[in-house]
Homo-oligomer: A and B are copies of this chain.
Amino acid sequence: MSDKEIPNIIVGRLPLYLRSLQRMKKEDRQITSSQELGERIGISAAQIRKDLSQFGEFGKQGTGYTIDYLIKQIRRILHIDQEWDIAVIGAGDIGSAVARYKGFANRGFRVTVIFDGDPGKIGAQIGDFTVQDSAYMVDMIKKTGIRIAMIAVPAAKAQQVADQLVEAGIQAILNYAPINLNAPSNVRVQYIDPSIHLQRMTYYLE
């Protein structure tokens, strides 16, 4: 393990390893190997070993990896040995689904607030949350110090919302709107767009 910058592509795989490991843990497994992990995820054992070795020596020769320990290590590497608060913008279908989603628990995240601009939605109850007026969004995010946001507003409004989020100090955005966002380079942006995934598959269907 050196302290050279870790390639993006390796960082991108760590969450996949983690998800599989947490699954194994749920199945009451104690130990696994790069071989088994690779088969579950569909990548080579050597690659997993090499990826992990970028960050330290977590395995034991002849035995494999202690699942609990490796989970702890990867969580530490990914900085999810804590819970990150998340703001959701847009209380429509997707925003509501995300706000009610139980799956962030134990993955390092917790939705803490949801905003919408529609007077008809402001004040409504969604799961445990009361929809907040997005007019106060920038202030509230600044005050609470939330650093991660998910955009779930129509594409036409997404850039404008992103600009506000940046102003509010948000440092990571997960964007559900099917549009590329402009953001300063110190703000991370990731995208979720089901059409993109579907189109990546139809190429292979005749």
The number of chain A residues touching the other chain, given as a range, is 35 or more
- For A174, what are the chain B residues with a Cβ–Cβ distance below 8 Å? 194, 197-198, 201
- For A16, what are the chain B residues with a Cβ–Cβ distance below 8 Å? 196
Q: Is A107 an interface residue (CB 8 A)?
A: yes
Q: Is A3 an interface residue (CB 8 A)?
A: no
In the complex, per-residue mask of A1-32: 1 if CB is within 8 Å of any chain B CB, else 0: 00000000001101110111001000000000
- The complex is assembled from copies of this chain, and their number is 2
CA distance A178 to B203 in the complex (A): 24
Q: Is A108 an interface residue (CB 8 A)?
A: yes
CA distance A195 to B105 in the complex (A): 10
Residue of B nearest to A98 (CB): B194
Query: Would you call B172 and A188 a contact (CB within 8 A)?
Result: no
Q: Is A68 an interface residue (CB 8 A)?
A: no
